[in-house]
Structure 1
Amino acid sequence: MSTRLRRTVPTMVIVVSTLLSTGAASAGSTAANARSAGTDDVATVQHDGYRAVIRRTQHGVPHVLAADVKSAGFGQGWAYAADRGCDLADQVVKLRSERARWFGPGPDNAHLASDFGYHALGIRTKAERELTKLSPDVRAMVSGYAAGFNAYLERSGKLPGWCADAPWVGKIDEVDILSRERDVAITMGSATLLGAITLAQPPTRQERAKGTAPGVDAEPGRKLVAQQARTVLRGDRRTAALGSNGWAVGEERTTDRGGLLVANPHFPWEGENRFWESQLTVPGRLQVYGANLGGLPGVQIGFNRDVAWTHTVSSGWHTTVYTVKLTESDPTRYLVDGTPEGMTSRTYSVRVKGTDGSLQTVRRTLWQTRYGPVIDLSPVDPSYGWSRTQAVTFQDANIGNGGILEQYADMAKARSVGELKAAHRRHQAVPWMNTIAADKSGGTWYADTSATPNLSADGIAAWLSHPFGVLDGSDSRHAWQKEPGARQPGLVPFVRQPQLSRQDYVFNSNDSYWLANPERPLTGFSPLFGFENVPQSARTRQNALMLRKSGPASVSGSDGRISLAEAEKGLTSTRALTSDHLLAPVVRACRAQAGTPVVVDGRSVDVTKSCDVLADWDGRFTVDSRGAVLWRETLAAVERAHPGSVTNAGALFSEAFDPARPVDTPAGPAADTAPVLEGLAKAALTLEAAGLPADVPLGRVQYAVKDGNRLPVPGTAGFIGATNVVEHLAQPGSSLEPATPGGTPLAYGDLTDQGYPVNTGSSFMLVVNFTRNGPVAKGLLTMGQSLDPGSPHFTDQTRAFARSELGRRPFTEKEILADRHLATEMVTGRVAR
């Protein structure tokens, strides 16, 4: 049941007293009390057992107040369903292996590959086992969340957004949520190999025949497998969908002497991995604010009264790929140290919708080694298929990770960075992220506690020597090593993971742990966490320069300290390392041309106009910037012609990367200006092909699509070196939500015939400053809270992003009640018996 309450302090007094009363009030009496205080409208679905108040503030952010954890989960599940329920409903179908049932085999048999792949991984089975082992609080939160989602769906009859009226939308249960938790854990590993798992079949006809259904093609397309599999292979990773910047500034560098956090995860704006914002309060037990990935209860990035934390995607590896030598007589038996072992197999069944709407059962037999599923990577490299002499398999550090919700429940209660560290040590359930944290006492902490394979020295040497990082699984020296203190055998234990505590600052921008603080480099860790002494991305360098006490890019005041306002300015900055360091030299180079055309592919191009545009540009990437598009196209053309130019000496820089000066190198403009002038000429041709003037405003070209409308977006592509990254992904996740079309590339650079469509990048932008009076927070959820085109919260924050405008995030009761946008709703529901 839902009851909407008028925004008055007396109303809230009654609501809170009702929630916290020791007597077990019925849903009816709760509604009656609410009505006596003044009720606008009351829904008629009657329940009892759960009771929560949802207060929505600016941008529609829900602040859930409840007397117990299960009711807090209920309120969060209800609010999430009302805003983003389609994202979770879609994932439930996927994780139940029912995609093909509802949507047919899919392009390249993608739905069949997904269904069979999740069967083989046993995600739902593992979730069912996990349910009985949850702590009481997490079990209550999960059950309440599912009940709240279902109660909203029952009341409304449908979910708002792209899945409205879809026949596959239905009620969920606790196992669905725990399956989603486990799926998040394998995002950077097993989830990218579903097609390769399904494709893998023995090379002999007799073995293949065991699991095929006559007349049915269950084999995924080779293009699909190649696209999915690259993420797990060293040297060929495609992780642009997930990135981030995170700062934690300590007492030595903050104006208020407490800790300060800056969070800017670069995550999709479409699909299941977009963030959603909320606050949970159970008086005396829980008070936490932040954002979570779709369908996960609790808060994954955020703060409480004492500590704030964020995450960035680790540059490390969480999966190892193995080849195994097969016996001569049987391609399903392999050797380890010369001893034969048999693969195990299981035949799975999937219901598939035909073109006529009928359902047919398809069966497929899939195989496992001691390491994990057998896979076929021949679409990536023909030598990595399943032959008569060799098979390919893999091991995922997160396949047994069912502790994510438990860890975040502990983190939400932490009272210091020390207690936050203790939660990491206890659970070791962060799957593939770095953690950056600050507390009210001014302490900071960086750590890469992501699940990482613990290879021996021999294993590491072999991994490094192979271009794709493929290991010989027939040699036990390459197996993961058991070590005390790890979450599970074979992982690097907490005490040997990269960590750094400081009183000045720590940060990460998706390069490795090495420069969490450039004044104190971290060294000596397994390369599976990432590499040391290598060129850093332009974005990492820009963030490091912004954190310096002084300098052109520094956000610090004249005292070398950082205030809330200065941190906010840094968070919304649209400057970039490449324009800061190279714009003036490029203008000098093109001025020196003195009207002499630049020849590109036999065409003479006059760059005089382009030079004038860059000379007038301030190097920023706001929606009004004229010159930003020309600059991106220039650098894109140079980078395509001379790969690696942004991170080392060559076409753009003269001084090579120096590990002793990693933030300041490469540096200096290249003496040979021909490559950059050719890039500028190519950029001019690209804009001409698009029918755009050289000084086109960025906001005319770069945009997010909302219900068919184009909303201008600031920022730029990651390689440019801006802290606010915005880009496009053809498929930002596994969701079946229609993705924004990317357009057809034009000429030489990034520009398409649709401009720069955006569906990933800066997402949950947050700055938290710990003062003597508690945390003060400002934030922005760039894609907005709601999927409903009819909601004001469908576009409001995207428009605010265009203005680089963060909103105050109320945290205390006083702040929430003072919010002029406050709208309050009481929700109740029955506990399933």
Structure 2
Amino acid sequence: MIRSPLWVAVAMATGLTLSGCSNDDNRDSTTLPPEPAPEVQVFAENGLLDVRIRRTTFGVPHIEADSIESLAFGSGYAQAQDHLCLLADGIIKANSERAKYFGPHKSIDFATGLAKEEDNQNLISDFGYKALGVRQSAAELIGTLPDRSRAMLSGFAAGYNLYLADLASGAVTTPNLPCAGQPWVKPMADVDMLTYLFSIALLPGAANFMDLIFFANPGDGDEYLPRPAATASVPRQGQMMLAEIRAKAQARAATLATPEVNPREMGSNGWGLGSEVTDNGRGIVLGNPHFPHTGQLRFWQSHLTIPGHLNVMGGSLVGMPGAVNIGFNQNLAWTHTFSTAEHFIMYNLSLKEGDRLTYLFEGEERAITPKTLTVEVNIGGGVTIPLEKEVYLTAKGPMVEAPPALAPFPWDDTQAFFIQDANMNNVDVLEHWSAMNFASNLEEFQQAFKSFDGVIFNNTMYADDQGNAFYIDDSTVPNIGSEAENALRLSPELRAARDQAGFTILPGDEARFAFDGAVPYERAPKLVRRDFVQNSNNSYWITNPAEPIEHVSPLYGKRRVQQSLRTRMGLTLMSDARGDDDKFSPAEVESALLSNRAYLAELVLPQLLLQCQAQGTTPVVVSDSLSVNITPACAALAKWNGAQNQDSVAGALLREFGYRFDSDVHLDVPFVYTDPINTPNTLASDGAALVALAAASVTLTQNGFDLEAPLGQMQFVEKSLPNGQPSGVRFPWSGANNFEGGFNVFAYTNRPGDDTLLPQHAYEPAIDAVTGQPTRSELTTEGYHIDYGSSWMMVVGFGDQGPEGRGLLTYSEAYNAHSPHWADQTSYYSDNTALRPLLFTEEAIAAETLSDIRLQYQK
């Protein structure tokens, strides 16, 4: 093992070109073709992993190696430096070991390991991932992966493990790292990384059904409850915990409901601008993913280089081993948004009469197979006991069940349901993103999508130095046949079931509705333009309004439907945020992104203020028991400055009005699909908007907030300390929300913990003055406490010397509260509401290098 402060890169071999000489030398004058450039080295030579990691301003790692495996090795080490606890938690979750280390309940006090709420969530998660078979499949499939994927997995695991070893030996120190030395923070293998990636691939689909998988059973009693394994010796405290688990499981079963698999807040914005709309005729990409600021869907910035082969920078989800998810290289840039496409199908089975474990498929009998699973559960004092239960599987996915009174998924004498997820065992994830990273032009970038189906749930927007703009939704979508597609379009029953559930439910007894594999590239919605492509989480349909996309599988989402206020804001910015030359520069794209305009206000505020004037001091009747003089609210809104910035008076009032605004109710001119940007419009004159404004204003005042408070006094980021307590440092925040038609969006889930066990604090919810329930906006008694929204933001253009990028990671590079890069970019955004230069060239990196290490490890 070698570490040194400086590293001299090994020169890469280059192809030899032999040129012809003059005939005077009596030599052959034929010019030989150049030899092909050497292929990139995949595995480290002689098993010696060797990498250089330089950190620049804001802690960004620039990782350089001579092989894919060594590059992933450096990525694993650097990610562990910044996110050890988060990575370790993700691995134990995917491996169904949360209950083993933390007991059955997710809501724990991280400092003590004790449950704060008895919810069985760890137990349900552990059984769920075992039912989905992520670990078993990883073990079975890892030997079949291409060399590049295997190198990325093994290299990353080695880097992570080296950092653990360095912590244990004292070679590196990280003061007060809360998870250091904990038994659940342990070395990983490449199969652990593949297990983790398989679990992430299921997040938009089957992973939402953990409760329904846990509950599913052919009986009508409590057969679904876990029990001690036959060989287990259960001490008294274990018996008490088992009784508690069973009681909580029964209580939870009484509230099962259909999961919301694509919540309205989940989203992103992406632009790919082509030569016709840029000032220099080269492409520009705007990347603006709106993602959680905590948990396993957190972005991390890095710069990855294999000299002569790869030079890519951008943001990746924590745990991506040696590849960039949203970023750019020397010739092209790309970004993603959350697709409206569906990635799984729920099938309704017809059961054999008198047999709940046999279903019919084209008249033939097929088995529903019980499988006994075992999970270790920590009962305290270092003691674990094995609990087991049956889950029920078809050949294509697990059974799910919810009581008929709560959701329409019963398992009775005639019918039952199972989930088939197109992302199950998705082995293309690493190959797909790696191929995008290595691409040097549009053809090579498109080939990544032709060859692989690893872009799990994303739209893709692209632009390059040749001025091409490209869009594709080649997320992993079930490849149903044309008969099934037509039935989904035309059958009132199937359409009604889909609208009610929020996802597709198909008959499971006919072959015409079955699927194997994902929709191929040829049939995915896509578009190449020289002006622009864009997406803000509506469907593929008006990626570019001048060329609507039609005639694709209905599983990709709806067409000819009303667009969100955010999509309309984005398309408005696309038109009116250009410079005087009617072209975009990268600086103008950044200004558009961070303008914090609110489309709702631009659509209705002038009309709303006129209605205010007509209403005067006459109280607005909100309910039988509530009437409100809206004069103060109207006066406050009249002072709003046109954007949701820190100094925006009445920004919170506009937001609370936005959460009560309904285009179908409050606008007179309906949606017309031939004019999707401008319709619906025109505020209704029936007084309904004033009722919404009155309710918004009284909610704010009853919770102690000034109607004229600048938004920055109410909207803030406050990070959690390792023990889950608030840091006490609040960063005032600029930015809008989906419901007011913002583009640079932030939100407030106010739910501690997210998908990680690492604790997050939350404040008491503010109460809606009309409903008496917590506000829909998740306003707290302290204001809008941000934990979601714009995350890895970037604007990348191309000049004569290559890419010119600016970006920001709003929640900063490191998760460790004692790192200098825990809140530095957070503070930067709060102070500037601007992006920062992305250091891509050797000159820029050298000028701002904070640390420089070389790591070697012999496998």
TM-score, structure 1 normalization: 0.88
How many residue pairs were aligned?
A: 772
**Which residue of structure 1 aligns with residue 91 of structure 2?**
92
Q: Is the 8 A contact 1:53 1:824 kept in 2?
A: no
Q: Is the 8 A contact 2:345 2:506 kept in 1?
A: no
Cα distance, 1:65 vs. partner?
1.4
Instruction: Tell which deviates more after alignment, 557-566 or 162-171.
Output: 162-171
d(CA) in 1 for partners of 2:11 and 2:186?
A: 29
Q: Which runs of 5+ in 1 are unaligned?
A: 6-10, 23-46, 482-488, 549-553, 640-644
Instruction: Tell which deviates more after alignment, 660-669 or 592-601.
Output: 592-601
Is the counterpart of residue 573 in structure 1 residue 595 in structure 2? yes
Out of 718, 736, 742, the position equivalent to 1:705 is: 718
Q: Is the 8 A contact 1:131 1:178 kept in 2?
A: yes
**Which residue of structure 2 aligns with residue 582 of structure 1?**
604
Q: Is the 8 A contact 1:212 1:365 kept in 2?
A: no
Instruction: Tell which deviates more after alignment, 377-386 or 823-832.
Output: 377-386
Instruction: Tell which deviates more after alignment, 716-725 or 333-342.
Output: 333-342
d(CA) in 2 for partners of 1:154 and 1:767?
A: 38
d(CA) in 2 for partners of 1:50 and 1:578?
A: 54
What pairs with 1:144-543 in structure 2 (closer than 5 Å)?
144-157=155-168, 163-203=179-219, 216=242, 221=249, 230-231=258-259, 237-240=261-264, 242-297=266-321, 298-378=323-403, 381-456=406-481, 457-458=483-484, 459-460=487-488, 461=491, 463-466=494-497, 467-468=500-501, 469=503, 471-481=505-515, 489-543=516-570
Q: Is the 8 A contact 1:100 1:353 kept in 2?
A: yes
Cα distance, 1:230 vs. partner?
3.8
Q: CA RMSD in A?
A: 2.5
**Which residue of structure 2 aligns with residue 786 of structure 1?**
814
Matching residue's letter, 1:514: W
Matching residue's letter, 1:518: P
d(CA) in 2 for partners of 1:204 and 1:759?
A: 41
Residue 685 and residue 208 in structure 1: after superposition, are their counterparts in 2 closer, same or farther (change >3 A)? Answer: closer
Cα distance, 1:403 vs. partner?
0.9
d(CA) in 2 for partners of 1:367 and 1:273?
A: 29
SS in 2 for 1:794: coil
Residue 56 and residue 490 in structure 1: after superposition, are their counterparts in 2 closer, same or farther (change >3 A)? Answer: closer
Q: Is the 8 A contact 2:361 2:511 kept in 1?
A: no
Residue 678 and residue 242 in structure 1: after superposition, are their counterparts in 2 closer, same or farther (change >3 A)? Answer: closer
Matching residue's letter, 2:343: H
**Which residue of structure 2 aligns with residue 72 of structure 1?**
71
Matching residue's letter, 2:765: T
Deviations 1:755-797 (A, max 9, x none): 1111110000000001121000000001110112222211111
d(CA) in 1 for partners of 2:404 and 2:555?
A: 25
**Which residue of structure 2 aligns with residue 723 of structure 1?**
743
Is the counterpart of residue 562 in structure 1 residue 596 in structure 2? no
SS in 2 for 1:501: strand
**Which residue of structure 1 aligns with residue 755 of structure 2?**
734
Q: Is the 8 A contact 1:732 1:760 kept in 2?
A: no
Deviations 1:484-519 (A, max 9, x none): xxxxx3432210110000000000011000010011
Residue 684 and residue 241 in structure 1: after superposition, are their counterparts in 2 closer, same or farther (change >3 A)? Answer: closer
d(CA) in 1 for partners of 2:524 and 2:546?
A: 19
SS in 1 for 2:160: helix
SS in 1 for 2:477: coil
Residue 148 and residue 600 in structure 1: after superposition, are their counterparts in 2 closer, same or farther (change >3 A)? Answer: same
Matching residue's letter, 1:114: S
TM-score, structure 2 normalization: 0.86
Q: Is the 8 A contact 1:249 1:438 kept in 2?
A: yes
d(CA) in 1 for partners of 2:467 and 2:99?
A: 52
**Which residue of structure 2 aligns with residue 122 of structure 1?**
133
Deviations 1:172-213 (A, max 9, x none): 111111112111211111111122112111216798799875
Residue 474 and residue 253 in structure 1: after superposition, are their counterparts in 2 closer, same or farther (change >3 A)? Answer: closer
d(CA) in 1 for partners of 2:353 and 2:47?
A: 65
Residue 161 and residue 385 in structure 1: after superposition, are their counterparts in 2 closer, same or farther (change >3 A)? Answer: farther
Cα distance, 1:100 vs. partner?
0.8
**Which residue of structure 2 aligns with residue 659 of structure 1?**
673
Is the counterpart of residue 136 in structure 1 residue 164 in structure 2? no
Deviations 1:566-590 (A, max 9, x none): 0111121211100112222212221
**Which residue of structure 1 aligns with residue 111 of structure 2?**
none
Residue 59 and residue 224 in structure 1: after superposition, are their counterparts in 2 closer, same or farther (change >3 A)? Answer: farther
SS in 2 for 1:203: coil
**Which residue of structure 1 aligns with residue 235 of structure 2?**
none
Q: Is the 8 A contact 1:623 1:713 kept in 2?
A: yes
Cα distance, 1:408 vs. partner?
1.0
Cα distance, 1:2 vs. partner?
7.5
Residue 209 and residue 792 in structure 1: after superposition, are their counterparts in 2 closer, same or farther (change >3 A)? Answer: closer
Deviations 1:406-432 (A, max 9, x none): 111111110112211110110122111
d(CA) in 2 for partners of 1:574 and 1:72?
A: 38
**Which residue of structure 2 aligns with residue 34 of structure 1?**
none
Q: Is the 8 A contact 1:225 1:379 kept in 2?
A: no
Out of 783, 794, 798, the position equivalent to 1:766 is: 794
Instruction: Tell which deviates more after alignment, 393-402 or 791-800.
Output: 791-800
Instruction: Tell which deviates more after alignment, 661-670 or 368-377.
Output: 368-377
**Which residue of structure 1 aligns with residue 840 of structure 2?**
811
SS in 2 for 1:421: helix
d(CA) in 2 for partners of 1:511 and 1:229?
A: 25
Cα distance, 1:605 vs. partner?
2.4
**Which residue of structure 2 aligns with residue 31 of structure 1?**
none
Q: Is the 8 A contact 2:229 2:374 kept in 1?
A: no
Deviations 1:318-355 (A, max 9, x none): 11111212223321111223322111222111111114
Matching residue's letter, 1:587: L
SS in 2 for 1:354: strand
Q: Is the 8 A contact 2:343 2:457 kept in 1?
A: yes
d(CA) in 2 for partners of 1:324 and 1:161?
A: 50
Instruction: Tell which deviates more after alignment, 304-313 or 378-387.
Output: 378-387
Cα distance, 1:19 vs. partner?
8.0
Q: Is the 8 A contact 1:243 1:267 kept in 2?
A: yes
d(CA) in 2 for partners of 1:476 and 1:224?
A: 34
SS in 2 for 1:621: coil
Matching residue's letter, 2:301: E
Q: Is the 8 A contact 2:650 2:707 kept in 1?
A: yes
SS in 1 for 2:69: helix
**Which residue of structure 1 aligns with residue 697 of structure 2?**
684
Cα distance, 1:718 vs. partner?
1.1
Q: Is the 8 A contact 1:230 1:238 kept in 2?
A: no
d(CA) in 2 for partners of 1:665 and 1:322?
A: 37
Out of 777, 794, 800, the position equivalent to 2:805 is: 777
SS in 1 for 2:821: helix
d(CA) in 1 for partners of 2:819 and 2:405?
A: 44
Residue 818 and residue 75 in structure 1: after superposition, are their counterparts in 2 closer, same or farther (change >3 A)? Answer: same
Deviations 1:437-468 (A, max 9, x none): 11110101111101112334345245324232
Cα distance, 1:244 vs. partner?
0.4
SS in 2 for 1:828: strand
Deviations 1:9-51 (A, max 9, x none): xx6xxx23468799xxxxxxxxxxxxxxxxxxxxxxxx99222
Cα distance, 1:161 vs. partner?
5.0
Matching residue's letter, 2:409: Y
Q: Is the 8 A contact 1:202 1:387 kept in 2?
A: yes
SS in 2 for 1:63: strand
SS in 2 for 1:768: strand
d(CA) in 2 for partners of 1:464 and 1:211?
A: 40
Cα distance, 1:112 vs. partner?
1.3
d(CA) in 1 for partners of 2:627 and 2:373?
A: 62
Q: Is the 8 A contact 1:480 1:491 kept in 2?
A: no
Q: Is the 8 A contact 1:19 1:51 kept in 2?
A: no
Matching residue's letter, 2:581: D
Cα distance, 1:831 vs. partner?
3.0
